[in-house]
Structure 1
Amino acid sequence: MKILCSLLLLLVCLCVNAAQANIYAYTDSHGVVHLTNVPAGNHQYHMVMRTLKMPVAAARADFNRVAKQQYQSLIRSAASRYGVSPALVNAVISAESGYNAGAVSPKGAIGLMQLIPATAARFGVANAFSPAENINGGTAYLAYLLRKFSGDLRLAIAAYNAGSNAVIQAGYHIPPFAETQAYVPRVLAYYQHYLNGTAPEQITAVTTVTSPLPAPTPASSSLQLIQVSSP
């Protein structure tokens, strides 16, 4: 059973960016389990795992372009210090404040990475309006969340928005809050663009993704099949 679960997880990873990543299986007369995301009309396959689709909502951020460039050295420094991708830090700042160091949310979140006072204090931020301190504290918080959720980017981003307890109480899934459900794909969209070396001032495309992490498009959409001897 553990082997089959591992193979299902592997196949989900292979199926990233597929239009339909549900997993299908059948066991042949030799006891070999066949797994695929593309049953291609073969009636022997039956669905064994449904992969949730996440809508990527249309998002707009009006960036302060001068400030955005000005903060890149601070972002790279903090990212290197805490072992976090600069693309992820930029993605969070893009979604949170649009590079406005003076931003304050109705809930009291402050600065570039929108730190609430308790989080700022926890990560040693004395002045959340200071770009250097805010980026350092926000990046340290992201690194903490990535460790807490074993590198699961989606859960770490969800926890950044809704808090760790909300993610845990949701069974280690994205909490069912409208804000968080929109926030996660928005940050992932920015993250993918920064990974690709682009820096969109406006994200307008509405699409659907099935992958838990941004990933390169597979070279081929042909049948992906795993075979293993059934226990």
Structure 2
Amino acid sequence: MSRLLVALALSLFAASAQAQLWGYVDANGVAHLAQQQLDGRYSLVMGRSEVGRVPGKLDGSHELLTWLEFAPEVKAVQPWLREAAGKHGVDLELLKAVIAVESGFKRDAVSPRGAVGLMQIMAPADQQQRLLEPRHNIHTGAQMLAGLIKKFGRIDAALAAWNAGEGTVRRNGGRMPNIAETQAHVHLVLELYWALLQRSLPATAQRLKIHGSPR
């Protein structure tokens, strides 16, 4: 499927999303993201507000996407994102969206449940230190995500499995389970993925080709 068709499919999916992504960029150039408005510094970046915004469209500041394009911590791992995307067949924009929502590009992030690094990968204690190495974390996460997409055949189901576990998605017929936290997580990743695709498409439009299905 071409990136243009992926963007179209995600725009239709995101139209039903109820999740919101709030954020701001501080004076040190650090982006802060949350699923709700924690204080007055946070503005709605993606999702619907009570007055009804277009899903996937940014507010006037464009701060988050600009931060994802120019922040030193994002640029530092960009070569590994390109490398992993090419090796494992996962869009760079999807990897970037997953990392932004999972860890905010904090390479040393460790969750209370033991998820480690940029892509917040669950691992035994003896493997956690290695997963804090950004390149290894990105390649491991990209390989895992590619496997989930192949297994379930849908990006939303793969992301749900990433968040809630493969067994949960399998018990729900290979589709996203009715778990509010998982649905919000998946919607946020997909909306950010869609927005990143929208931003990247103009720069790559001359290289895009859409082919019909073989007969």
Q: TM-score, normalised by structure 1?
A: 0.58
1:132 maps to amino acid: R
Q: Which amino acid aligns with 1:140?
A: Q
Q: How does 1:47-58 map to 2 (within 5 A)?
A: 54-58=16-20
List aligned pairs for 1:133-212, cutoff 5 A. Answer: 133-150=136-153, 152-197=154-199
CA contact (8 A) 1:126 1:133 kept: no
C-alpha separation between the residues in 1 aligned to 2:21 and 2:94? 17
Give the residue type in structure 2 aligned to 1:127.
Answer: R
Q: Deviations over 1:85-138 (max 9, x none)?
A: 1011001001100100011111110100000105x96xxx87011001000100
Structure 1 residue runs of 5 or longer lacking an equivalent are 1-13, 19-50, 199-231
**Which residue of structure 2 lines up, in the alignment, with residue 68 of structure 1?**
74
Is 1:107 paired with 2:113? yes
Query: Is residue 97 from structure 1 mapped to residue 100 from structure 2 by the alignment?
Result: no
**1:158-203: CA deviation from partner (whole Å, max 9, x where unpaired):** 11111111101112221122210100110001101111126xxxxx
The answer as to whether partners of 1:74 and 1:132 remain within 8 angstroms in 2 is: yes
Quote the RMSD (CA, aligned, Å): 2.8
Q: Does 1:78 align with 2:81?
A: no
1:131 and 2:134 are equivalent in the alignment: yes
Aligned length: 149
Q: Structure 1 vs Structure 2: percent identity of aligned residues?
A: 36
- Partners of 1:56 and 1:189 within 8 A in 2: no
State the shift of 1:149 in Å. 0.9
SS in 2 for 1:161: helix
Offset at 1:57?
Answer: 1.3
How far apart are 1:83 and its partner, in Å?
A: 0.8
Give the helix-richer structure, 1 or 2: 2
Closer, same or farther: CA 113–16 of 1 in aligned 2, 3 Å: closer
Structure 2: where are the runs of 5+ without partners?
A: 1-7, 24-30, 33-66, 201-215
